[in-house]
C-alpha cells in the first residue's frame, strides 16, 4: 500500500488540562471547528473527562482516546486504569509518550505489554517513539527509535500475538516537545521511513507501508504544513495547540488538503 492511501490522522493530547466541567464544551467546539472531510480526528482528554467528552462528541465522527493505560488487566494497582475499564469510553489510547518514559520511567517492555492489553480490549493503540537531544546530536536518533519500536513490538510477538494491523506510530522528538522547537519535515520523513523499515522486519512490507506515522512535537497551525508535505507523514499528535479550537481548525484544515490530494491520487 502506497503512502497516499494511508489515512490522515490528527490527535489532540490534552495532557493534564481541563476538567469534566469544561472539557465537553471544549471538545464540541473543536469538533465543530474541524469538520473537514477525510481527516480522522481524535481527542484524548484526562481520564476524569472521558465520559463528558464522549457525551459532547455524540453524533460527530470525532473519536475519543485515553492518554495511557496500565500494563496489567486488573489487580492491586492503586490509582491505575485498566484497558477493560476504558472499553466503551474510548476507541484509541496513546502509549509510550515521552513524558511517561521520562517521569514514570516506562520501559519498552512495559509499553509492549500495554499494547497487548489494548489489543485484548479492542482499543486501537497509538505508540509514541522519539529520541533525546543528545541522542540526535550524537547521531543515534534512528538507532534509538528503532530500538524503542523493537523493544515494544517484540513483547507482543513473544506473548503469542501478531503486531496489530491497526497500530499507529507517533514520532515525537523529545527535544521538540514543549520547547517551541520542531524537527524539520525532512527529519520527520527520514524517521518515518526508518520506522517502517523496522516494522517491515518485524511484520511485512505491506504491513509497514499501511501503518500511519504521525509527527508530534510542538505542532501548530503554522508548522503542520511542512510535515504534511512529506508523503511519509500521515498526520500529527498535537499537544498544547490542541486546547485551542482556532489552532486545531487550522491544523485540521491543512490535513484536509492532504487527505483530498491522497483521495484524488
**What pLDDT band is residue 56 in, cutting at 50, 70 and 90?**
very high
- Residue 50: the pLDDT is 98
**What pLDDT band is residue 175 in, cutting at 50, 70 and 90?**
confident
User: 97, 131, 207, 230: which one is catalytic?
Assistant: 97
- Coil, helix or strand at residue 129: strand
User: 135, 172, 230, 247: which one is catalytic?
Assistant: 172
Question: Known catalytic residue: 172?
Answer: yes
Q: List, for residues 224-254, the tens digit of each pLDDT value.
A: 999 999 999 999 999 999 999 999 999 999 9
- Residue 5: the pLDDT is 86
Global pTM?
A: 0.96
- Residue 180: the pLDDT is 65
CB neighbour class for 225 (10 Å; exposed up to 12, middle 13-18, buried from 19):
middle
Question: Known catalytic residue: 207?
Answer: no
Residue 93 has pLDDT above 90, yes or no: yes
**What pLDDT band is residue 217 in, cutting at 50, 70 and 90?**
confident
Q: What average pLDDT does the structure give for the chain?
A: 95
CATH architecture for residues 8-264: Alpha-Beta Barrel (3.20)
CB neighbour class for 116 (10 Å; exposed up to 12, middle 13-18, buried from 19):
buried
Residue 172 and residue 128 in contact, taking contact as beta carbons nearer than 8 Å: yes
Cα separation, 66 vs 22, whole angstroms: 17
- Residue 155: the pLDDT is 97
**What pLDDT band is residue 218 in, cutting at 50, 70 and 90?**
confident
Cα separation, 157 vs 150, whole angstroms: 10
The domain limits of the chain are: 8-264
Amino acid at each position: 500500500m502506497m503512502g497516499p492511501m494511508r489515512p490522515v490522522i490528527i490527535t489532540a493530547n490534552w495532557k493534564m488540562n481541563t476538567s469534566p466541567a469544561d472539557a465537553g464544551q471544549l471538545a464540541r467546539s473543536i469538533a465543530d471547528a474541524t469538520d473537514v472531510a477525510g481527516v480522522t480526528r481524535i481527542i484524548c482528554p484526562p481520564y476524569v473527562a472521558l465520559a463528558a467528552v464522549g457525551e459532547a462528541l455524540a453524533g460527530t465522527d470525532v473519536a475519543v482516546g485515553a492518554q495511557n493505560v496500565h500494563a496489567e488487566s486488573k489487580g492491586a494497582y492503586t490509582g491505575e486504569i485498566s484497558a477493560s475499564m476504558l472499553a466503551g469510553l474510548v476507541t484509541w489510547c496513546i502509549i509510550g509518550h515521552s513524558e511517561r518514559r521520562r517521569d514514570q520511567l516506562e520501559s519498552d517492555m512495559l509499553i509492549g505489554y500495554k499494547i497487548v492489553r489494548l489489543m485484548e480490549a479492542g482499543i486501537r493503540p497509538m505508540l509514541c517513539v522519539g529520541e533525546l537531544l543528545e541522542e540526535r546530536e550524537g547521531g543515534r536518533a534512528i538507532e534509538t527509535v528503532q530500538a524503542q519500536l523493537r523493544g515494544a513490538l517484540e513483547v507482543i510477538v513473544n506473548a503469542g500475538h501478531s503486531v496489530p494491523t491497526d497500530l499507529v506510530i507517533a514520532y515525537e522528538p523529545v527535544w521538540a516537545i514543549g520547547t517551541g522547537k520542531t524537527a524539520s519535515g525532512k527529519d520527520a520523513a527520514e524517521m518515518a521511513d526508518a520506522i517502517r523499515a523496522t516494522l517491515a522486519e518485524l511484520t511485512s512490507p505491506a504491513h509497514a507501508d499501511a501503518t500511519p506515522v504521525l509527527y508530534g512535537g510542538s505542532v501548530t497551525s503554522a508548522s503542520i504544513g511542512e510535515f504534511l508535505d512529506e508523503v511519509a507523514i500521515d498526520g500529527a499528535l498535537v499537544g498544547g495547540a490542541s486546547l485551542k479550537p482556532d489552532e486545531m481548525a487550522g491544523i485540521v484544515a491543512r490535513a484536509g488538503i492532504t487527505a483530498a490530494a491522497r483521495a484524488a491520487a
